[in-house]
Every structure is written in structure tokens, then in C-alpha cells.
Amino acid sequence: MSSSPDWFTEGAPHVWRPYCQMKTAPAPLAVARTEGARIVLEDGRELVDGIASWWTACHGYNHPHIRQAVTEQLATAPHVMFGGLAHAPAYRLAARLARLLPGDLDHIFFAESGSVAVEIAMKMALQFWINRGVAGRTRFVSFLGGYHGDTLATMTICDPEEGMHGLFAGVMPAQHVVALPRDAESEAALDRLLADKGHEIAGLIVEPRVQGAGGMLLHDDEVLRTLRRVADRRHQLLIFDEIFTGFGRTGDLFACEGSGVVPDIVTLSKALTGGTLPLSAAVASRKVFEAFWSDDAGAALMHGPTYMANPLACAAANASLDLFEAGAWRADVARINAALAEGLAPCRDAPGVVDVRTLGAIGVVEFDAPVAVGALCEQFAELGCWIRPMGKVVYLTPPFVTSDEDLARLTGAIRTALTR
């Protein structure tokens, strides 16, 4: 920035930023405000947000309905502990999520972040077996290309080759990270693993339809049906990590709903509050919950994040669900999919591009080598867009309210950057 605001100058030496080498990374862009699908910078530039602030702002920024709900809740009770107390926003949200999720995914445990929700799901699976008197089930099966968070336990179930967590190899027990069962051979390999090692495995965890931060890798619903079939055959719990895919991103409200596959546990976060406040959930099926339902206090799930079920966040999530239940998002996702497919198609012929793919409101250009994230971010900002690549992919996951004109700007920016 040519002229940084005081708050930026004073704070910059003290803020430790995410996912970058602080010494060499370009300075971040100073944000003044947000509105709809736009980020307005302190220097007056407006950027079309192509990634919805890491996939959260599905309805766009500052949506009036969500803002009103949060404002009203702020005047009533911004926060109250959830241990021994109850409040309407959380209880209403739990009942609504249970109605919207498929099957008997009826029991909602709230937290604040996606990584924590995955840790809770893992803890539920581990204790499920302990409570049923089964010892030794302490490991998980996850899948190559997957990403489930940056906390210690979630790092162990990420693809070890994805690059972010290699320094921590050996810190936590290794898990079984294997290929997704896309064909008869890989299904047989997974089945053999569960036959041989099932006595030590607490569950299988997968990102349904799209493996997000691992590279925006797509797989079809038959993979999910195979996982359900194999898990049932080998008496294993199946966990869906829908932190990215949940709330409309793939074209269905939830990937599990659209696929017809009901997992034993599902994790939610990201767009749960419409990108307004931190909130997440681990949702258990009746079978899992009943393993904890006991006269024995030792069988309880001893977990409780301080800000779990924060009333402000729950109010935002209820307002977000109002918008989803209104249904306009379905047409928007279809419109976005068509625009991304058309706008990104010419990238197939660019040097270094190995694939262009879309699903729902997701568009991906994959390269044969990792891209220069900092340099590309600067180019995209010059073109009026906020797009942050990762690994080998430049991707778009725009807010559902993004206009056709802004979608054209986003895809055009990617095409222009490739010609440079």
C-alpha cells in the first residue's frame, strides 16, 4: 500500500498472519468494509470476492436479514455459557438442522471452528467404541487428497503429501490414509484394510464430493455409496466432513442429502452462519448418540468449548437458514455453475493447465505445478478481484449473490492472468 492507515502501520509488526512466510510474503490488503460480493479496500479499490472469504460468505457480506438477527440478539444476550444453561437461538438451530439433515442425524454438538468440530467427531467415534466396551479402536481411515484442519488430531487425517503439515510427522499417531474407492480395485483394497485392521479403527472420514483445501478434487456420489457399503460390511462408523461442502456449495444443501448417503457423524461450519460469526457443529446419528445415553456419568462426552452455541452466532445461523429455506440459492448456484463452466473453459488451452472442472458454485483451474500465490493475488487485485490460489489450483467459490457481471470479471481475471 502506498499510504497505510494508522491501524495497519501500528499493528503490522505484531500480527502473525496465516499460511505465509511473514518475512517474504507480500503485505496483506487493508479492508475498509464489505458489501454483497465486494470487498472495499482502504485505498478505495473494490474487489469482487471470488472465494467468499474461505467459502463462508455464501449469501454475500452484510446481508440485511442476518445483520438484523445479530443486532436483535446483541441487545438481548450476546453470550451465555452453554454448560447448565440453555437459550432459544441454539435450541431452535439444533431442531432446524436435525430437520434439514437426512436420516437420523438428530443430535447436534456445537463448537466454534471447523477443525474443532472434526476433533469432536473423532472424539465421539473413539468414545463410541469405549462406551460399548470395545477396546483398542484408536485410529482412523482417511483419504488421499483430503484436508480436515490444522489442529493436532486433524493434521493426522490430512493427506500427508499436501504440504502444510509435514513438519509434524510423528508428533501424533499415524492414521491410515488411503485412496478413495473409485473402482473395484480400490474398493477391494479398502475392504482388505478394514478386514485386517478393523479392530484398531474407530471410523472412516471423508469430504463428500469435493476434497477442498487438498486441491478441490472431485469424486462422484458412487464413491460415497461405496464407503457406506464397506463401512456397514465391516462394522465401522462413517464420518462426513461437510465443513466446505455443506450449505449449498455443491448444488444440494448438504452433499450427504444429495448423495442419498447418511453418515454416522457429519461436521458443519464455514457457511453455517453465512460468513458472519464463528460456529461449527458435529452432528451424530441416533446410533452414535445412544452409546453416550447412560446412567453412568463416565459415559458422557466430556467436551465443552467456552463459546459453544454462542447466541449471536446461532442467531446468525438461524437467519442464514431462513435464506436457504427461501430457496433462491438453488437457482443462483446453477447460474454460477454455468458462468464458471463457460468462463473458465478457455483456460484448458493455457500452458501448464492440466484440468478445468466445476461442481455447483465451485470452479477450478489445476496446473501441473504449484502456483505463485502471492504474485497471482497481486495480479488479481489489479484486475479488481480477490482470488487466493492454493497449491496447484486457482479456484473460484463466489458468494451465491454474485452478479453475472462480477462472475465474468472473476473468470476474465483468471484468463488474463494466464496470458501473462
What are the catalytic residues? Answer: 19, 147, 241, 270
Q: Within 10 A of 187 (CB to CB), how many other CB atoms are there?
A: 18
Contact between 399 and 375 (Cβ < 8 Å): no
By residue count, the chain amounts to: 420
Dmax of the chain from CA atoms?
Answer: 67
Q: Which of 116, 128, 178 shows the shortest CA–CA distance to 153?
A: 116
Q: Which three cell numbers stand for residue 237?
A: 462408523
Contacts of 304 (CB under 8 A, 6+ apart): 82, 83
Burial class (CB in 10 A: 0-12, 13-18, 19+), 27: exposed
Whole-angstrom CA distances from 393 to 96, 216, 277, 364, 412 are: 35, 8, 27, 7, 16
Cell 477443525, located at residue: 115
Contacts of 331 (CB under 8 A, 6+ apart): none
Specify the DSSP class assigned to residue 130.
H
Contact between 147 and 159 (Cβ < 8 Å): yes
Pairing relation of β-strands 385-386 and 139-143?
A: unpaired
Cell 443462483, located at residue: 332
- Strand pairing partners for 394? 365
CA 396 to CA 1: how far, in whole Å?
25
CA 76 to CA 69: how far, in whole Å?
11
